């Protein structure tokens, strides 16, 4: 019983101090291969050196499964990455600084076809349940 109590307290403390930012991008599908090349060569190495990036994914060629209400014309996001933060205050202080840095601005200047290639950018925040 003591182990369960210690685990529960530890889990509650961890939940209070960590949030996860899940970033979903709807990037132009006709440019996704060029985006993948750019992300692997430039964006991911830089972002991972500056942030606690847990993963970065591009949709596979397999069709997504969607149930329930229909989606809008953009469909599902085709790029997803997750950043771990201590709290939202840390995120709001660090992320704008990283994304406005000269190094990131240089890298971002080479995103395929420029910022207009992002059809939608979504960021949501999650607490871990396990």
Compute mean pLDDT per 10 residues along the chain, 130 residues long, and list them: 45 66 98 98 98 97 92 95 97 97 98 98 94
Residue with the two structure tokens 């599908």 = 29
Residue 16, pLDDT score: 58
Q: Do residues 88 and 17 touch, judged by C-beta distance below 8 A?
A: no
Residue ranges covered by each domain of the chain? 17-60+76-126
Task: Please indicate, yes or no, whether the overall pTM of this predicted structure exceeds 0.75.
Answer: yes
Closest C-alpha among 44, 49, 45 to residue 23: 44
| pLDDT, tens only, 64-92 | 999 999 999 999 999 999 999 999 999 99
From 11, 30, 27, select the one nearest 121 (Cα to Cα).
27
* pLDDT confidence of residue 5: 44
**Cα–Cα distances in Å, from 80 out to 29, 32, 65?**
14, 13, 16
Residue-level pLDDT at 41? 98
Beta strands in the chain (DSSP E): 19-27, 53-58, 79-85, 118-126
Is domain 17-60+76-126 classified as CATH 3.30.420.40? no
């Amino acid at each position: 019983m003591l182990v369960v109590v210690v685990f529960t307290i530890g889990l509650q403390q961890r939940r209070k101090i960590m949030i996860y930012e899940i970033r979903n991008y709807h990037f132009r599908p006709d440019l996704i291969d060029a985006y993948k090349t750019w992300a692997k060569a430039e964006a991911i190495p830089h972002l991972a050196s500056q942030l606690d990036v847990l993963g970065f994914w591009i949709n596979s060629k397999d069709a997504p499964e969607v149930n329930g209400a229909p989606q809008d014309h953009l469909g599902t996001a085709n790029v997803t990455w997750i950043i771990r933060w201590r709290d939202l205050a840390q995120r709001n202080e660090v992320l704008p600084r990283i994304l406005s840095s000269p190094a990131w601005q240089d890298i971002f200047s080479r995103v395929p076809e420029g910022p207009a290639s992002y059809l939608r950018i979504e960021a949501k925040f999650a607490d871990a349940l396990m």
